């Protein structure tokens, strides 16, 4: 997949921005992983301080998709660690957007995927298996739907109703 710069996407799609079909997430996410720029169709997951469903989803073939995890913005534990980051890479996921924390930062930074998260936290999450897959989530100031597209690079993160080209 060809790399599209988020600034160029914004410049070329002012009409989509004005209609809300292209949205810019608030600049609150920190970059992790080897891939500083990544994109793909979105799979959504809503959990809170519990990462059982995160692992279950990432055990399925990613096929270049991006998992958007709405962890409710919790800063009390990590939803993704080094083993899960490696799993995401091995299963072909393009990246992860975590509205929450990660841990094992050095391990995740060694993975050939893109990860954005609010920060890092050393405490692991609960293991109850509670959450919802493929539901609308509110992350970074916007509602994100399963099947939309995410574009991320050093300038920021965009959500589009459709795959874009410049």
Residue 92, annotated as binding a ligand: no
Residue 104, annotated as binding a ligand: yes
Q: Is the dihedral angle over the CA atoms 26, 85, 46, 151 positive or is it negative?
A: positive
What is the rounded CA–CA span in Å between residue 53 and residue 59? 10
Compute CA 23 distance to the chain's CA centroid, rounded to the nearest angstrom: 15
Residue 81, annotated as binding a ligand: yes
Compute CA 106 distance to the chain's CA centroid, rounded to the nearest angstrom: 18
Please list, in sequence order, all residues whose beta carbon lies within 8 angstroms of the beta carbon of residue 104, skipping any fewer than 6 positions away.
Answer: 78, 81, 82, 83, 85
Residue ranges of the annotated binding site are: 81-84, 103-104
Residue ranges of the annotated binding site for substrate are: 81-84, 103
Residue ranges of the annotated binding site for Mg(2+) are: 104
């Amino acid at each position: 997949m060809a790399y599209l710069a988020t600034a160029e996407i914004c410049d070329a799609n002012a009409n989509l921005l004005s209609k809300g079909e292209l949205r810019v997430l608030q600049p609150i996410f920190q970059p992790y992983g080897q891939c500083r720029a990544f994109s793909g169709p979105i799979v959504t997951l809503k959990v809170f301080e519990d990462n059982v469903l995160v692992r279950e989803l990432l055990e399925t073939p990613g096929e270049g998709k991006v998992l958007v995890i709405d962890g409710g913005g919790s800063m009390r534990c990590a939803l993704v660690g080094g083993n899960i980051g490696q799993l995401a890479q091995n299963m072909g996921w393009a990246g992860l957007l975590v509205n929450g924390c990660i841990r094992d930062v050095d391990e995740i930074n060694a993975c050939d995927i893109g990860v954005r998260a609010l920060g890092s936290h050393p405490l692991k999450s609960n293991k109850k298996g509670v959450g919802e897959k493929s539901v609308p989530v509110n992350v970074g100031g916007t509602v994100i739907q399963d099947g939309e597209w995410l574009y991320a690079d050093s300038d920021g993160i965009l959500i589009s109703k459709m795959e874009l080209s410049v």
